């Protein structure tokens, strides 16, 4: 069986990763901030990313077991005036004109699979997934033996949240190799996860990973699935095995560190993070998690040292500014200027950071500025009315300045709230790390 487009046209031209972000966001709503929240409401933008991630990773795996690409003997269309006009319209963002030209071209008989796949990818790169689907569908009609056409059509359907159509394309795809079977199992698991079918998603993602544990995408997504399901020990097992095949993968090591930390294996998490930072010293997510893990273990001086190094790196995480300020206060530092400056950066960069205002209140209280400390907590409780610690501290400060009625109301609000199963810092950072991992493109 010939696969004339197997290496070149399985969406490897830069349209992939954001669909996976879309898939994860649909399945696991509740993350704030990016991809994995500007994720749920912006499906078209998110969709492009899947084509990037899958292209280099899944299609690379497929290409390993497929015959070398073979050229089809068919008329060349690259110099065709209509084709040149279509490509120009796409490059200029003229979607309607491009689609009209595509409609004209698709009326022609005997179009090659290479051409149809290439045009479909060009439309996908511009987030024109309807046009991409038309090209891939025509490819299936004229060349039903081409696996990539079905796979790419499934991706285009996912970008449009046409879940059942995507699954149907995967089911119909002519799978002639183990790699193709695993690729379909993997993508099917992602779609099922987005539909809330966790049992089926776990089965298919696990099958893909078991069949090719060396594929970083398979390990990454199965590990993330378990983290989202709060199955942290299972996630750690997956990430550890995947990292064994990809020892230089920073995101797999980060996934291992996050899952170990969330499972309560703090020292093992710290060990993995130090290994990761020895390979990639300026990797901001690892700097952030190591700072937090050390602070949770009470190793505040070590935590502050890591945070300071991280803040001097080229692209520090905004969360690290918050954490460093928090650690400095725990160390009873009097570097208030630095603390307030770091909190200001965090407030600007982290959406609705009630923890930033709580920490700012602590700093103002340490300075004896109770009025400012109260104002900070009032902002924090307006941002998050279910923040127990903010209400508790606000009640205490109200009493301290003689505002008894306000203190009673704040205390009542505190009493109504149940204690968090996870602390607010852990919740915030867990969501941040999930966003980072969900957005990750594992190395090819």
Residue-wise pLDDT tens digits, 165-222 = 999 999 999 999 999 999 999 999 999 999 999 999 999 999 999 999 999 999 999 9
Q: What pLDDT does 4 receive?
A: 40
Give the Cα separation of 438 and 24 in Å (integer): 7
Q: Ramachandran region of residue 112, left (φ > 0), alpha (ψ -120 to 50) or beta?
A: beta
Of 179, 212, 245, the last residue of a domain is 212
Q: Looking at the domain assignment, is residue 71 inside a domain? A: yes
| Structure-token pair, residue 183 | 């690729």
Residue 148 burial (CB count, 10 A):
29
| Structure-token pair, residue 415 | 């009493």
> To the nearest 5 percent, what fractions of the chain are helix, strand and coil?
70, 0, 30
| Structure-token pair, residue 73 | 């003997």
Could you tell me the CA-to-CA distances from 382 to 30, 285, 385, 387, 428 in Å, in that order? 20, 29, 6, 9, 17
Q: Looking at the domain assignment, is residue 257 inside a domain? A: no
Are residues 176 and 272 located together in one domain of the fold?
Answer: no
User: Contact at 8 Å (CB) between 288 and 258?
Assistant: no
Q: What is the pLDDT along the chain (444 residues), one digit of tens a residue?
A: 344 444 345 654 334 444 444 444 444 443 222 222 222 233 322 233 233 233 333 343 444 333 334 344 444 454 578 888 998 999 899 999 999 999 999 999 999 999 999 999 999 999 999 999 999 999 999 999 999 999 999 999 999 999 999 999 999 999 999 999 999 999 999 999 999 999 999 999 999 999 999 999 999 999 999 999 999 999 999 999 999 999 999 999 999 999 999 999 999 999 999 999 999 999 999 999 999 999 999 999 999 999 999 999 988 999 999 999 999 999 999 999 999 999 999 999 998 999 999 999 999 999 999 999 999 999 999 999 999 999 999 999 999 999 999 999 999 999 888 655 456 666 677 676 666 666 664 433
405-441 per-position pLDDT tens digit: 999 999 999 988 865 545 666 667 767 666 666 666 4
User: Helices marked H in 263-317 — which ranges?
Assistant: 266-279, 284-296, 300-311
Q: Looking at the domain assignment, is residue 294 inside a domain? A: yes
Q: What pLDDT does 35 receive?
A: 23
| Structure-token pair, residue 113 | 């699979």
Are residues 25 and 157 located together in one domain of the fold?
Answer: yes
317-350 per-position pLDDT tens digit: 999 999 999 999 999 999 999 999 999 999 999 9
User: Contact at 8 Å (CB) between 309 and 319?
Assistant: no
Q: Looking at the domain assignment, is residue 278 inside a domain? A: yes
User: Contact at 8 Å (CB) between 85 and 104?
Assistant: no
Are residues 121 and 194 located together in one domain of the fold?
Answer: yes
Q: What pLDDT does 31 receive?
A: 29
Are residues 340 and 204 located together in one domain of the fold?
Answer: no
Are residues 57 and 201 located together in one domain of the fold?
Answer: yes
Q: Looking at the domain assignment, is residue 218 inside a domain? A: no
Give the Cα separation of 363 and 357 in Å (integer): 10
Q: Looking at the domain assignment, is residue 69 inside a domain? A: yes
Residue 264 burial (CB count, 10 A):
10
Residue with tokens 């995408």: 217
Are residues 181 and 307 located together in one domain of the fold?
Answer: no
Phi, psi of 16 (to 5 degrees): -110, -50
Cα Rg, the chain, nearest whole Å = 26
Are residues 168 and 27 located together in one domain of the fold?
Answer: yes
Are residues 275 and 420 located together in one domain of the fold?
Answer: yes
Of 167, 190, 212, the last residue of a domain is 212
Return the H-helix or E-strand segment holding 16.
strand 16-17
Q: Looking at the domain assignment, is residue 223 inside a domain? A: no
Are residues 135 and 276 located together in one domain of the fold?
Answer: no
User: Contact at 8 Å (CB) between 342 and 348?
Assistant: no
Of 196, 212, 228, the last residue of a domain is 212
Query: Strand, coil or helix: what is 227?
Result: helix
Spacing of C-alpha 153 from chain mean position: 23
Residue 399 burial (CB count, 10 A):
15
Give the Cα separation of 321 and 336 in Å (integer): 13
Q: Looking at the domain assignment, is residue 441 inside a domain? A: no
- Give which of 150, 155, 189, 192 is closest to 172, Cα–Cα: 150
Residue 17: strand pairing partners: 50
Q: What is the CATH number of the domain that holds 156?
A: 1.25.40.10
Task: Write b or e for each residue in 65-93: b if 16 or more Cβ atoms lie within 10 A of its Cβ, otherwise e.
Answer: ebeeeeeeeeeebeeeeebebbbebbeee
- Packing angle of the helix pair 424-438, 354-366 (nearest 10 deg): 140
Residue 314 burial (CB count, 10 A):
6
| Number of domains making up the chain | 2
Are residues 107 and 180 located together in one domain of the fold?
Answer: yes
Are residues 283 and 420 located together in one domain of the fold?
Answer: yes
Instruction: Read off the DSSP letter of residue 108.
Output: S
Spacing of C-alpha 136 from chain mean position: 27
> What residues make up the domain containing 372?
266-431
Residue with tokens 């005036």: 81
User: Contact at 8 Å (CB) between 439 and 50?
Assistant: no
Are residues 194 and 80 located together in one domain of the fold?
Answer: yes
Q: Ramachandran region of residue 55, left (φ > 0), alpha (ψ -120 to 50) or beta?
A: alpha
Q: What pLDDT does 81 receive?
A: 84
What secondary structure does DSSP assign to 37-86, as a single string? -TTTT-HHHHHTHHHHHHHHHHHHHHHHHSPPP----S---TT-HHHHHH
User: Contact at 8 Å (CB) between 204 and 192?
Assistant: yes
């Amino acid at each position: 069986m010939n696969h004339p487009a197997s290496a070149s046209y399985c969406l490897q031209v830069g349209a992939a990763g954001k669909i996976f972000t879309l898939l994860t966001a649909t399945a696991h709503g509740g993350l704030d901030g990016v991809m994995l929240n500007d994720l749920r409401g912006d499906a078209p933008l998110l969709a492009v990313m899947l084509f990037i991630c899958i292209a280099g990773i899944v299609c690379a795996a497929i290409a390993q077991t497929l015959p070398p690409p073979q050229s089809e003997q068919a008329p060349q269309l690259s110099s065709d005036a209509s084709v040149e006009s279509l490509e120009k319209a796409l490059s200029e963002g003229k979607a309607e004109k491009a689609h009209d030209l595509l409609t004209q071209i698709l009326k022609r008989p005997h179009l090659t699979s290479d051409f149809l796949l290439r045009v479909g990818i060009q439309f996908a790169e511009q987030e024109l997934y309807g046009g991409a689907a038309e090209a891939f569908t025509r490819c299936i009609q004229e060349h039903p033996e081409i696996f990539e056409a079905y796979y790419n059509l499934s991706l285009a359907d996912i970008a449009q949240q046409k879940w059942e159509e995507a699954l149907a394309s995967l089911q119909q795809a002519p799978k002639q190799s183990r790699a193709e079977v695993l690729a379909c199992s993997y993508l099917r698991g992602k779609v099922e996860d987005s539909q809330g079918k966790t049992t089926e998603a776990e089965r298919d993602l696990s099958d893909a990973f078991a069949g090719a544990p060396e594929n970083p995408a398979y390990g990454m997504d199965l590990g993330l699935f378990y983290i989202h399901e709060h199955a942290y020990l299972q996630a750690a097992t997956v990430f550890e095995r995947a990292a064994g095949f990809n020892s230089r993968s920073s995101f797999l090591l980060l996934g291992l560190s996050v899952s170990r930390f969330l499972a309560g294996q703090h020292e093992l998490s710290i060990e993995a993070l130090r290994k990761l930072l020895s390979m990639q010293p300026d990797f901001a997510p690892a700097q952030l998690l190591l700072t937090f893990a050390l602070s949770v273990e009470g190793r505040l001086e070590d935590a502050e040292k890591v945070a300071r190094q991280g803040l001097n790196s080229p692209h520090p995480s905004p969360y690290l500014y918050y954490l460093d300020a928090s650690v400095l206060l725990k160390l009873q530092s009097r570097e208030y200027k630095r603390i307030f400056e770091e909190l200001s950066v965090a407030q600007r960069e982290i959406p609705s950071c009630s923890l930033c205002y709580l920490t700012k209140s602590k700093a103002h209280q340490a300075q004896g500025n109770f009025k400012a400390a109260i104002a900070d907590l009032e902002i924090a409780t307006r941002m998050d009315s279910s923040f127990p610690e903010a209400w508790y501290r606000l009640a205490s400060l109200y009493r301290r300045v003689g505002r008894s009625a306000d203190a009673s109301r704040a205390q009542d609000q505190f009493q109504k709230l149940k204690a968090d199963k996870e602390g607010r810092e852990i919740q915030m950072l867990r969501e941040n790390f999930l966003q980072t991992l969900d957005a990750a493109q594992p190395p090819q």
